[in-house]
Amino acid sequence: FGWSTPVAERVVPIVKKAVEGGKIVGAICNAASFMAKHGFLNAVKHTGNGLDQLKIWGGENYTNPDGYIHAQAVSDGSIVTANGSATLEFAKELLTLLENDTPEQIEMYYQFNKQGFCALFHE
């Protein structure tokens, strides 16, 4: 819950520079709400812990409710957002943007972690 503290405001210039520079920026759970609060989601499709929370945190600075997608994780341009229960989907979107591996390998790792060893490898 640190994203609602005054200390978090120190991150704003770093995020702004990253977004303006086309760097990959990821925001999960309340970090997505923080992004809404500072207008970083106004030009991209995004998700978070629900549209209502984004509106509450974002107030007048959040002007893109039509860009909200009710999904575990959303990637648009260089910004990845996710709700608090979407750690695997968030990681998958980031790894894809980072071109960490082939899409097939990233999907395999995602499925392995989502379904588990026992589900994928039967005796």
79 contacts 27 by C-beta, under 8 angstroms:
yes
CA-CA distance, 3 to 67, in Å (whole number)? 22
Full domain range(s) for residue 87: 2-120
Average pLDDT of span 96-110: 95
For the stretch 68-75, contacts whose Cβ atoms lie closer than 8 Å and that sit 24 or more positions apart, written own/partner, are 69/45, 71/47, 72/47, 73/47, 74/45, 74/46, 74/47
Cut 0.85: pTM above it: yes
Average pLDDT of span 42-51: 98
Total count of domains within the chain: 1
Q: What is the pLDDT of residue 1?
A: 76
Mean pLDDT score across all residues of the chain: 95
118 is catalytic: no
The 10s digit of each residue's pLDDT in 47-73 is 999 999 999 999 999 999 999 999 999
Q: What is the pLDDT of residue 107?
A: 95
Closest CA to 42 of 70, 23, 64, 65: 64
Residue 54 maps to which CATH number?
3.40.50.880
CA-CA distance, 3 to 32, in Å (whole number)? 9
Q: What is the pLDDT of residue 48?
A: 98
User: Looking at 29, 35, 79, 94, which residue is catalytic?
Assistant: 29
Backbone angles phi, psi at 32, to 5 degrees: -65, -40
